[in-house]
Amino acid sequence: MKADKLKKELLKLEELAPCYLYISTSDSVLEDRIESVKKFLKGKINFDTDFKIFNGAEEIDEGEFNNYISTPSLFSLKKIVVIKYIEKVSASLQKKVINLISSNGKGSANVIFIITALKQKFNPALLDAVRKAGKVIQLKPPLSGSLKKWLEERLIKAILIKKLLLSFKKGKIFPASLIATG
């Protein structure tokens, strides 16, 4: 039974497109999407070695990027590269990503790119490459009707995290009060 579950999880990972581009005007919506991706990948990859976030708001070391994508994984079927704020990434690195996505798996067959953008001011060839090889998803920030629900969910998560941190501080790893409310 356990082997069947593992097989289903691996199939789901193998079914992922080589790249995803998430575009939104809301930074928090993009952050939520990255967290959703992490939750989906939990138990499917080794996060220590096969999941890396490169932040375009900070200077990305192209050598580190090249090393990460060219090093094969020893623990997972796929490596995940998250590139946040692609519009702020250097033109040369954007071209590198375009070439990797367009290469149809040559050199990047075991890499899945998760790319986020606050603005659509990046190399149009990147948009074309992602459309051909993966998915472009426009995310809208929550509007008034769903905003209340979205804020409530975030507040509940924040409260649970605070309770958990306080429990760790007090030396209680799994307090009954947290389990009852969580």
Chain centroid, CA 112 distance in Å: 10
Query: First vs last Cα of the chain: how many Å apart?
Result: 28
What's the token pair of residue 150?
A: 């979205």
Kindly tell me if the per-residue pLDDT of 47 is higher than 80.
yes
Task: Report helix, strand or coil for 102.
Answer: helix
Q: What is the pLDDT of residue 155?
A: 75
Query: Is 23's pLDDT higher than 80?
Result: yes
Residues in the chain: 182
- Pairwise CA distance, residues 157 & 134, whole Å: 31
- Token code pair at residue 73: 């994984």
DSSP 3-state of 111? strand
pLDDT band at 171 (very low <50, low <70, confident <90, very high): low
User: pLDDT by residue (tens digit) across 108-164?
Assistant: 668 999 999 997 788 889 999 999 999 998 988 766 556 667 667 777 877 877 777
Residue 52 neighbours by CB under 8 Å, 6+ apart: 68, 79, 80, 81, 82
Domain 2-141 in CATH 3.40.50.300:
yes
Give the pLDDT band (50/70/90) at residue 61: very high
Indicate the domain borders of the chain.
Answer: 2-141, 142-182
Predicted local distance difference test score (pLDDT) of residue 64: 95
Q: Are 89 and 63 spatial neighbours (Cβ–Cβ below 8 Å)?
A: no
Work out the pLDDT band at 75, boundaries 50, 70, 90: confident
Nearest to 89 by CA among 48, 53, 122, 47: 122
